[in-house]
Structure 1
């Protein structure tokens, strides 16, 4: 199975649509066989699902993600595990062990307002669907 994680400096990146890198893991049923970090080459929100599909990704682990991206990933046949934080490697190991801590209802719906430098979705209420900000 091929698993991708939104990636920034070893951690799960918290805004899918702004992901500049993914870490892609080749796995068997219970272990990581290999991994590599790939650049998205500037692909934005709409193109990232296609980017992942082109790389043969079956599963995506990420932080915050918008509704449109969720739809695009579903149409690409990619299983989504949103609302994760921490080490990318540890999240993949947890998924393979069957104990990944994720938030299935995580939706980031704030693309109508500006963000300051260093913004990440996980910091201001995007964790739960319908959260007011």
Structure 2
């Protein structure tokens, strides 16, 4: 099974506010191994745009610090799984934690 993760970044680490990140790390996983990583720059922030934009890029999973309820609903409509409340780590560390079933998530860092 192949998973494609999108992780919002600021200065190369998880960005706490999903919609205002500098870049996304796109991390590809197949057979429980990371097989690729690339960085993409998102379009200018516009509420509701990113879920469809990431779905068009084949994303199946998101690891985020915080995300608004509307974005969570839009990702669910795209059948993209979202993990919120993740720690401020590098993308490969976060996906590695997910692969080992040790990804630490907590409360949604976004309250709007």
With a CA cutoff of 8 Å and minimum separation of 6, indicate the structure with the bigger relative contact order: 2
Summarize the alignment of residues 26-41 of structure 1 with structure 2, pairs less than 5 Å apart: 26-41=28-43
Q: Partner of 1:13 in structure 2?
A: 15
Within 1, Cα distance between the matches of 2:7 and 2:84? 10
Deviation of residue 107 (structure 1)? 5.8
8 A contact 2:65–2:88 mirrored in 1: no
Q: Which runs of 5+ in 1 are unaligned?
A: 111-133
Summarize the alignment of residues 41-80 of structure 1 with structure 2, pairs less than 5 Å apart: 41-80=43-82
1:92 has 2:95 as partner: yes
Cα deviation 1:32-88 (Å, max 9, x = unaligned): 101000000214331010111011000000001111110011001100001112222
Q: Which runs of 5+ in 2 are unaligned?
A: none
8 A contact 1:81–1:102 mirrored in 2: yes
The one of 19, 22, 25 equivalent to 1:23 is 25
Within 2, Cα distance between the matches of 1:45 and 1:5? 18
Task: Indicate the structure (1 or 2) with the bigger Cα radius of gyration.
Answer: 1
Q: Let me know the Cα RMSD of the aligned residues.
A: 1.4
* Structure with the bigger percentage of strand: 2
Deviation of residue 9 (structure 1)? 1.9
TM-score if structure 2 supplies the norm length?
0.89
